A and B are shown apart, each in its own frame.
Chain A
Amino acid sequence: MILFAACLAVFLLGAVLSLLPRSYRAASALGSGFAVLGCLLGLVPVVQALIAPQDWVLTLAWPPPWSMGRLGLDGISALFLAPALVLIGLGAVYGRGYMAGMEGQRRAGPPWFFYNILAAAITGVFTARDPLLLLLCWESMALSSYFLVCLEDTDGAVRRAGRIYLVASHLGAAFLLVLALLPGSTWPPGAGIAPGTVAGAAPAGVLFLLALVGFGSKAGLAPLGVWLPEAHPAAPSHVSAVLSGVMIKTGIYGILRVLLALSPEPWWGWTLITLGATTAILGVAGALAQTELKRLLAWSSMENAGLMLLGLGLGTLGRAMDAPLVAALGYSAALIHVVNHGVFKSLLFFCAGSVLHATGERRMDRLGGVLKRMPVTGAAFLVAALGICGLPPLGGFASELVLGLCAVKSLLLPSASLDIPGLGVLAALILCAGMAAAVFVGAFGTVFLGEPRSGEVHAHESPAAMRGPMIVLAGLGALLGLGAPLLLATVLRALEPFLPGASALGAPLVQGLTTATWVFGLLLAFFAGLFLLRRALLRGRDVRTGPTWDCGYAAPTARIQYTYSSFAQPLADMFQSLIGRTGSMTRPWGLFPARAGYVAETQDRILAAFLALFEFLDARLEALHRLQQGQVHVYVLYIAATLVALLAWGLW
């Protein structure tokens, strides 16, 4: 725990130190260097806790009031912290390269101050052991990330996104405030209180709902996650990667803690599965309708948060219905997906940032052929896309397999109560996997393949500081595929204290994943064999290059290529009822058709509904302005009146 305390101290020290130097380079070197150092220090105890879970607790020698200041590191915390620290560290390296071009435009100190504070706050959220500390870390996480989102604050759209994020995150925090301040509340809740009855004064169901709304808004659950597709694309790319890859998971972490600490009821599971399926399908359908790469990735993050929630829901139902196998597999599926999604989504954001950095173009339909000029970025994007679609042999497949098998096993239980949820989870999972594949084939194909769509794009490969983290993450992604059995075993070990016997129950699946790895090996062997065969066959033969065979039309322009909008349009039309009209079409008409076109554009209808609601509330609450006079003596009058009223009430 000493190393862990050092990690937190290094983050805070780095935050302060990066503010001091005047030079841009010194500040960014200090800021990113301390973030990386902190992550490395923190990883040591985290890895130890993963190998042999033990409940380390760090209590300050002079504890602040309200028993604040306890940090603990058990298996679950370590499981969330390990990818978080890796991603934050890599994000710091990447961010230094990403922001190197801004020298002279702004100071480097503040962004790195907030980045280090964010790192410390996220670490704190994952390890806090009392409600007030959790709340404090939660709030510093929200605020520091708000300032990071608004880094490019000269852009009006960025300021708007930041405002939406700030409002949404504080609406969520309000529910957590209630959760933390309930009389007798603890974190994780209900520890030490007889399960199933009451925690303090509140029934367990209320605690669950408070946590679901409060944490769920951070995880991007529909309809509370409306801020996510706004805020994530607005932030600088290394921050987007941390927001999508790490911060979403703080929401999942909170919900998981509450679920594991209390003894659940079946309706919790039903709620989670309904919300999860809605979020997942809305998220992936929304991704179909996007025109900007980073926005698409943010929608896909919503989808993946939904998938994690499906796992949590099945696990909860399994616990409530006394089906330990389903419980173990459901929670493991969610946790494995936390790790996988963290790695792949951060990598995707790094790649998207690299493209944005090189071309300055956000819209996919204006890019094209980037792979030729940015080979590393393109290859990394392809790996991450395969991973996020849940395709073998990468890590994403393991989460899909565990969740799918969990759903299938819940169908075959002797009791019928898990049938419908299992079927729903299975259908949502496969539907999302298929649609995600369509989304990422389209995105990769449009941005990286073909010919450049707008002539003035001069892309160049990113600097080494940005390429390095991408290569490391792509390697990690491949390792996650081959090491999936190991990851599942680690997850089951971390769950063991909460679900006794989880390791034994999951052992056959670990065995199954090992066999799947065997098939991956077979697949790679086939691939290598065919590759060599093809090379041998083509050696010395007549291999020519020519124009693309466009049905014999040899003078194609880049403009006639399929764009992302045209690629996704048939599928987006199938889901039109969910995402609304995706665009406006001008049909060619008349004997001499003049102008025809199709503009793809979507409105986020949930966000629009929220904005309308706020406007309505704003109008209705105008009357309260009269209370707010802005004159001190009126406020003193209020205080006096309140005191008198309380006095009267007390004396009654």
Chain B
Amino acid sequence: MPLFDQSSIHWDALARILAGLLLCPLLFGVINRVKATFAGRRGQPLLQTYFDLARLLGKGAVYSRTTTWVFPLGPLLGLSCALAALCLAPLGGQPGLVAFEGDLFLFAGLLGLGRFATAVAALDTGSSFEGMGASREMQFSVPAELAQVLGLVALAQATGTYSLAEILARLDLARWEAFSPVLALTTTALFLVLLAETCRIPVDDPNTHLELTMIHEVMVLDHSGPDFAFILYGQGIKMWTLGAVLTGLMVPVRSGDALLDAALGALGVFGLAVIIGVVESSMARLRLLFVPRLLVGATALSGLALILLLR
């Protein structure tokens, strides 16, 4: 018995999407504050990312002579894809704006399109560093995408439904009791994917200043002004979206009150930001050669979860 219409538009999701749009830059503030606390520093203001965005949006831009119209396509398409993915993502067991059977493939496809655009824009500069970043990004995305889709399909299998909204709405405490090993494996896998997709330690270090070791950051070296603001904001939206899906799994409280559930979900996303901050403070970046192993490990966890569900 479906809880929502199988393929439908949920207008009430607009409020949740608006919350995501407004709150996502705060995630970086929370992560930075946690890292600062661990390091014994006071850290930058919580709202620093908002200031950065405002400053970047007010600036002009410098473009490389090598670039073509493909170059601005990266930030534009990257942010559009993140926004469209946000519209699909449920928050706290409440559906996203659009839901249909198999929307988890569209979710992964939108993230893939954004990645494609960013990598192509990086290659457009003709810089060898950015080529390096694009190459690594596309390499790591192969196991990461596999881990993500297999993980989401494992959730579909555990709940017996096919749309993200329906899957996450059904993941309550009873489901966790029944399928705890599977859900724990999937949670781990999806958390690793989140770290890779949002360029966090141990996959990528957002604070590094050595271009040779960067992945995401090095791809966007040549973007400036509003373009870079789009990229930064897109990163925030992506983290919020992936975090919302993951906390839908990690915080299986479904009170039945839509507002309370959504609030809990949003709180969960910030809790996740704290966890990311703790992970970033407590370990170093992996050597680049080990990153694929980590992500293949995540794929193995998702695959194992799925196999455990087969009869």
A interface with B by C-beta (< 8 Å): 368-369, 371-372, 378, 382, 386, 389-392, 397, 400-401, 404-405, 408-409, 411-412, 416, 419-420, 423, 426-427, 430-431, 433-435, 437-438, 441-442, 444-446, 448-451, 508-509, 511-512, 514-516, 518-519, 522-523, 526-527, 530-531, 533-534, 537-538, 541-551, 556, 558, 560-562, 566-571, 574
Q: Give every chain A residue within 8 A of B64 (Cβ-Cβ).
A: 545-549
Q: Which of B63, B80, B88 is the one whose CB lies under 8 Å from A530?
A: B80
Determine whether B61 belongs to the interface, using a CB cutoff of 8 Å to chain A. yes
Q: Give every chain A residue within 8 A of B37 (Cβ-Cβ).
A: none
- What is the CB-to-nearest-CB distance from B234 to chain A, in angstroms, rounded to a whole number? 10
Q: Give every chain A residue within 8 A of B143 (Cβ-Cβ).
A: 434
Q: Which A residue's beta carbon lies closest to that of B306? A: A423
Q: Give every chain A residue within 8 A of B254 (Cβ-Cβ).
A: none
Q: Beta-carbon contacts of B133-164 to A below 8 Å, as 1s and 0s?
A: 01110110111011001100100110010100
Give Cα A648–Cα B147 distance, bound, in whole angstroms: 70
A512/B84 contact (C-beta < 8 A), A411-B157, A437-B115, A545-B65 known: no
Contact (Cβ within 8 A) B142 A561: no
Determine whether B292 belongs to the interface, using a CB cutoff of 8 Å to chain A. yes
Q: Give every chain A residue within 8 A of B84 (Cβ-Cβ).
A: 519, 522-523, 526
Q: Give every chain B residue within 8 A of A549 (Cβ-Cβ).
A: 64, 125, 127, 221-222
Contact (Cβ within 8 A) A408 B230: no
- What is the CB-to-nearest-CB distance from B60 to chain A, in angstroms, rounded to a whole number? 4
Q: Which A residue's beta carbon lies closest to that of B102? A: A405
A544/B62 contact (C-beta < 8 A), A389-B112, A519-B106, A522-B87 known: yes
- What is the CB-to-nearest-CB distance from A323 to chain B, in angstroms, rounded to a whole number? 15
Determine whether B7 belongs to the interface, using a CB cutoff of 8 Å to chain A. yes
Q: 6 smallest A-B Cβ distances: which pairs? A: A562-B131, A445-B123, A450-B126, A542-B60, A438-B138, A434-B142
Q: Give every chain A residue within 8 A of B67 (Cβ-Cβ).
A: 548
Q: Give every chain B residue within 8 A of A386 (Cβ-Cβ).
A: 113, 116
A434/B141 contact (C-beta < 8 A), A441-B134, A549-B221 known: yes
Give Cα A389–Cα B113 distance, bound, in whole angstroms: 9
Offer 6 A-B interface pairs, CB within 8 angstroms, sorted by A: A441-B120, A449-B120, A518-B98, A538-B226, A544-B60, A544-B61
Per the 8 Å Cβ criterion, residues 205-254 of B in contact with A are 211, 221-222, 225-227, 230
Contact (Cβ within 8 A) A400 B109: yes
Contact (Cβ within 8 A) B226 A534: yes
Determine whether B311 belongs to the interface, using a CB cutoff of 8 Å to chain A. yes
- What is the CB-to-nearest-CB distance from A10 to chain B, in angstroms, rounded to a whole number? 42
- What is the CB-to-nearest-CB distance from A401 to chain B, in angstroms, rounded to a whole number? 5
Determine whether B281 belongs to the interface, using a CB cutoff of 8 Å to chain A. no
Q: Which of B70-78, B171-179, B182-190, B270-278 is the contact stretch?
A: B70-78
Determine whether B264 belongs to the interface, using a CB cutoff of 8 Å to chain A. no
Per the 8 Å Cβ criterion, residues 97-116 of B in contact with A are 97-103, 105-106, 108-110, 112-113, 115-116
Q: Which B residue's beta carbon lies closest to that of A548? A: B64
| Beyond known contacts A534-B76, A538-B60: 8 more, CB 8 A cutoff | A411-B306, A441-B138, A445-B134, A449-B124, A526-B83, A550-B128, A558-B126, A562-B132
- What is the CB-to-nearest-CB distance from A599 to chain B, in angstroms, rounded to a whole number? 18
Q: Which of A389, A426, A515 is the one whose CB lies under 8 Å from B8?
A: A515
Q: Which of A400, A409, A534 is the one whose CB lies under 8 Å from B105?
A: A400
Contact (Cβ within 8 A) B157 A412: yes
Determine whether B79 belongs to the interface, using a CB cutoff of 8 Å to chain A. yes
- What is the CB-to-nearest-CB distance from B218 to chain A, in angstroms, rounded to a whole number? 9
Contact (Cβ within 8 A) B123 A405: no
Q: Give every chain A residue within 8 A of B36 (Cβ-Cβ).
A: none
Contact (Cβ within 8 A) B120 A543: no
Q: Give every chain A residue within 8 A of B108 (Cβ-Cβ).
A: 430
Give Cα A526–Cα B68 distance, bound, in whole angstroms: 21
Q: Which A residue's beta carbon lies closest to that of B87? A: A522
B residues contacting the other copy or chain, number (CB 8 A)? 85
Contact (Cβ within 8 A) A550 B146: no
Q: Which of A438, A534, A574 is the one whose CB lies under 8 Å from B292?
A: A574
A391/B7 contact (C-beta < 8 A), A411-B310, A548-B66 known: no
Give Cα A621–Cα B7 distance, bound, in whole angstroms: 65
Q: Give every chain A residue within 8 A of B124 (Cβ-Cβ).
A: 445, 449-450
Contact (Cβ within 8 A) B116 A534: no
Contact (Cβ within 8 A) B59 A541: yes
Give Cα A522–Cα B84 distance, bound, in whole angstroms: 7
Determine whether B57 belongs to the interface, using a CB cutoff of 8 Å to chain A. yes
Determine whether B268 belongs to the interface, using a CB cutoff of 8 Å to chain A. no
Determine whether B119 belongs to the interface, using a CB cutoff of 8 Å to chain A. yes
A526/B160 contact (C-beta < 8 A), A401-B102, A541-B59 known: no
Per the 8 Å Cβ criterion, residues 284-311 of B in contact with A are 292, 303, 306-307, 310-311
Q: Which of A435, A516, A561 is the one whose CB lies under 8 Å from B103?
A: A516
Contact (Cβ within 8 A) B105 A401: yes
Give Cα A566–Cα B139 distance, bound, in whole angstroms: 12
Determine whether B198 belongs to the interface, using a CB cutoff of 8 Å to chain A. no
- What is the CB-to-nearest-CB distance from A446 to chain B, in angstroms, rounded to a whole number? 7
A516/B106 contact (C-beta < 8 A), A438-B139, A441-B116, A546-B64 known: yes
Contact (Cβ within 8 A) B139 A571: yes
Contact (Cβ within 8 A) A437 B132: no
Q: Which of B61, B146, B227 is the one whose CB lies under 8 Å from A434?
A: B146
- What is the CB-to-nearest-CB distance from B247 to chain A, in angstroms, rounded to a whole number? 22
Determine whether B24 belongs to the interface, using a CB cutoff of 8 Å to chain A. no
- What is the CB-to-nearest-CB distance from B301 to chain A, in angstroms, rounded to a whole number? 14
Give Cα A551–Cα B127 distance, bound, in whole angstroms: 9
A426/B153 contact (C-beta < 8 A), A548-B125, A562-B128 known: yes
Q: Which of B68, B100, B225 is the one whose CB lies under 8 Å from A516?
A: B100
Give Cα A41–Cα B307 distance, bound, in whole angstroms: 52
Contact (Cβ within 8 A) A527 B61: no
- What is the CB-to-nearest-CB distance from B184 to chain A, in angstroms, rounded to a whole number? 20
Contact (Cβ within 8 A) A523 B81: yes
Give Cα A427–Cα B147 distance, bound, in whole angstroms: 9
Give Cα A417–Cα B307 distance, bound, in whole angstroms: 13
Q: Which of B57, B112, B119 is the one whose CB lies under 8 Å from A433?
A: B112
- What is the CB-to-nearest-CB distance from B132 to chain A, in angstroms, rounded to a whole number? 6
Q: Give every chain B residue within 8 A of A566 (Cβ-Cβ).
A: 131, 135
Give Cα A423–Cα B80 distance, bound, in whole angstroms: 31
